[in-house]
Chains A and B, each alone.
Chain A
Amino acid sequence: MYITDLKAISPQLTYDNELLEGKKTTHEDQVYNVIEPDYMEFIPKGLLRRMGRAIRMGVGAGLPLVKAHSDIDAVVIGTANGGLEDCIKFLNQIVEYDEGVLTPTNFVQSTPNAVAGQLALMGQNRGYNTTYTNGGLAFENAVLDAWLLFRENAVDKLLLGGIEEISDYNYNIDSLAGHYKNEIVNDEDLLSSTTKGTVCGEGASLFVLEKAPAEYYAKIEDVEQITYPTELEFDDCLELLLSRNNLQVDDIDTIMLGYNGDSRHTPWYTHLEEHLIPNANVLSFKNLSGDYRTCSAFATWLSAHLLNGEKAFLPHIELRKKHEKEISRILIYNHFDEVRHGFILLSK
């Protein structure tokens, strides 16, 4: 399956592709908020007012694609938490009004499949429609579903996306659980940090995938995942992915890794780049996006542009250079919490 169109709302200037010209936006806080476009240009005001943050971002990035591709056969979304801000707003009403008379808007908006539903509604798309909420593998699950749909000849073209919002509430919850740094680290120093915790990001990255297009950005070859692996099982999982695609380790020239500056998370990435794929160039992405459960969708957005030969932003994410070869195959590896590990394989 091939990426033929894509749109991202991220903590970088991605909506109008200014990042692709090399223009990086600096973040120096624990929270990397997205830079939102002027939604009013294409979402009716009344509707926009009722949309929670995740829906606004998802529809904001997805609707231009749905409008430009009226022949989309399916919508497949990954979002670990969906509209969590609406969820907690509704929860706060429940507790503060002691289960009194409540307004349902927040409740309906908090359903994680509200984004996929809203995109179907606004695009009048009655095709296959689904939403994965599997934590740090929600986007990888969606990629596999897309892979299956093409293999089944069920679709010619579909919309794939990964969406996550930051709300005060999920920041609070993940913060209490120890996900974020106590100290302020700017994005230049994030990846070399040796303390616990990372920074909190958000974003919506959406893709139009096609079966056999004449022109495209990149090919998504395959996806693989494992949960609670031992190191040996992790190694076997990568080997399974490579052998299924008839690849040798050195066929992968570039690896994009989820390094996030959390000392607890680093060993998995180091293991992969030092022991499993030692000859590939190493790229990062979380210094641009912050960390969130579906950020591998943003890594996919970056990879698609790199494989399309757009490289002006490369200096911002180059970690280690082992060779001078052109980028022709990228393996994205990410985990959010050392538990769920995902691989996405893309090529030229």
Chain B
Amino acid sequence: MGVISAIGNDVSSSLSLLQAAKSGIGKAKHFNSKYTSSLNFGEVDMSNEALSALVAQRTEHGNPASESGLSRTTLLAYLAFQEAINQAKLTSVDLMSMDTGFISSSTVGGMSNTDELYADANMKGEPSEFVTSYGGGEHTLRVIKKYGIKGFTSTINTACSSSANAIMLGSRLIKAGRAKRVIVGGADSLAKYTVNGFNALMILSENPCKPFDTTRDGLTLGEGAGYLVLEGESTCKDKIKLAEVAGYGNSNDAFHPSATSDEAFGPRLAMQRALASSGLQSTEIDYINAHGTGTPNNDVTEMFAFNETFDSIPPYNSTKSYTGHTLAAAGSIEAIFSILSLRNNELYASLNCASPISDYGTRPIDKKTAKELKHVMSNSFGFGGNCTSIILSKS
């Protein structure tokens, strides 16, 4: 697996910050928007030039800065993708095989170049270098080209549940025998587009987000990328198995384009379907990496859904308190953090929760805690009512 977010450029640096309960949220240094002075962000603390240099250092493909129309979303994708295939020891022959798939996801994609898109869409002047790079699947296509991937490839956009759905689809492809290995995940970068969108919906907090706190007042936007290499039993015999994708479930809440129903139909069904597909009882879930955005609506409905799904709510946190909400990348980044908990038998503190929602006699994990973990759940809920839950187990 490979990850880049506000708490680090790779898996090991991310783990250190999770263990130290140190958030990556703060004032943005590289992102350019009117809101950088008033709002906090989960920014990857590197310029595009520095990201390009890191790609050159990590890969055998040279410095991508010379690629025309290269977006920050793609740079983040390159870095997490390379780390993931390194860890899984995939060769270029593996990557080019017809039974290797790649499923990515993004909400902003190349639209992170908001000002260029404005000029091109309104035909103001000569075409910019980004004119073919605005599509949501652009970063996917660039990874495909760089690594010569020939098998099944896809880009999913179900908003904030996108990369959780990528994990689900990748697992299903392997189970059905349509692929032997699939690299799954997502990438999103900070963009004026999403900042202004969430701001117009009045669900951005001025402060670092406070998931599950009674005084929470909105989410913090973040950026990043996360990829996982999924392989069937037959191809990963001699490899270190980091975890097993034990179950997954998806449901549409069928209530509102940008809010969850009070009854939390979608979140409940997603978790129930994930449990059913894993064959596990709800009592066997040892930890939940919650969607936990810090909006008034999400956290109260997600808590309600926990209470309906579990006799006793397992320990839970929101790692968005470290990274901000990384949108399409959130599902895969949080699956990676869940695997870090699973492998280290550690639960990490949920930050910024001084006065927790107390309706169900529980509170998010307040400090790093040692606990033997077997099965963990990760939730991702998105606009358009899209709800996905993934269960990861020790392999």
Contact = CB atoms under 8 A, between A and B. Distances in A.
B92 interface: no
A177 interface: yes
A132 B155 contact: yes
Contacts of B31: none
A134 B127 CA distance: 23
A107 B255 contact: no
B46 interface: no
A272 interface: no
Interface residues of A, number: 68
A339 interface: yes
Contact of A141 (B131, B154, B201): B154
Contacts of B137: 80, 133-135, 138
A107 B154 CA distance: 24
B157 A120 contact: no
B150 A233 contact: yes
Contacts of B148: 228
Contact of A169 (B34, B121, B144, B165): B121
A144 interface: yes
Contacts of A90: 193, 196-197
A99 B140 CA distance: 29
Contact of A152 (B115, B149, B176, B385): B176
A99 B35 contact: yes
Contacts of A63: none
Contacts of B35: 99
A228 B140 CA distance: 12
B257 A108 contact: yes
Contact of B98 (A81, A135, A240): A240
B127 A176 contact: yes
Nearest to A141: B154
A227 B153 contact: yes
A120 B154 contact: no
Contact of B192 (A94, A103, A133): A94
B302 interface: no
- Chain B residues touching A, range: 35 or more
Contact of A107 (B98, B118, B131, B196): B196
B33 A107 contact: no
Interface string B83-119: 0000000000000001000000001000100110110
B385 A117 contact: yes
Contacts, number: 209
Contacts of B195: 99
A193 interface: no
Contacts of A130: 156, 158, 165, 169, 250, 386
A118 B197 CA distance: 19
Contacts of A135: 135, 137, 141, 155
A151 B176 CA distance: 8
A124 B261 CA distance: 12
Contacts of A75: 252
A249 interface: no
Contacts of A145: 169
Given A113-B382, A144-B178, A148-B178, A107 B157 contact: no
A208 B144 CA distance: 32
Contacts of B152: 144, 225
A148 B197 contact: no
B256 interface: yes
Contact of A177 (B132, B136, B156, B199): B132
A107 B385 contact: no
A78 to B, nearest CB: 10
A121 B197 CA distance: 22
A46 interface: no
A82 interface: yes
Contacts of A91: 111, 114, 117-118, 121, 193
Contact of B120 (A152, A173, A225): A173
A102 B165 CA distance: 30
B199 to A, nearest CB: 7
A127 interface: yes
B157 A131 contact: yes
B269 interface: yes
Contacts of A98: 34
Interface string A82-108: 100001101111110011011110011
A172 B132 CA distance: 11
A229 B151 CA distance: 10
Given A102-B196, A117-B252, A152 B172 contact: yes
A39 interface: no
A108 B150 contact: no
B157 A121 contact: no
Interface in B198-235: 199-201
A301 B250 CA distance: 28
A82 B111 CA distance: 13
A94 B197 CA distance: 9
B131 A173 contact: yes
Contacts of A225: 152-153
B34 A111 contact: no
A126 B135 contact: no
A133 B155 contact: yes
Interface string A214-232: 0000000000011111000
Contact of A126 (B145, B157, B172, B265): B265
Contacts of B122: 88, 92, 169, 172
A123 to B, nearest CB: 8
A227 B144 contact: yes
Contacts of A128: 250-252
Closest 4 CB pairs of A and B: A117-B384, A107-B197, A104-B200, A120-B252
Given A94-B118, A133-B136, A227-B149, 4 more contacts: A91-B118, A113-B158, A117-B384, A121-B385
Interface of B: 33-35, 98, 107, 111, 114-115, 117-118, 120-123, 127, 131-132, 134-137, 140-141, 144-145, 148-150, 152-159, 165, 169, 172-173, 175-176, 178, 192-193, 195-197, 199-201, 250-258, 265-266, 269, 382-386
23 contacts: A99-B34, A99-B35, A108-B258, A109-B257, A113-B157, A113-B159, A116-B384, A118-B384, A128-B250, A128-B252, A130-B158, A130-B386, A134-B154, A135-B141, A137-B153, A141-B155, A145-B169, A148-B169, A152-B172, A172-B122, A173-B117, A228-B150, A236-B98
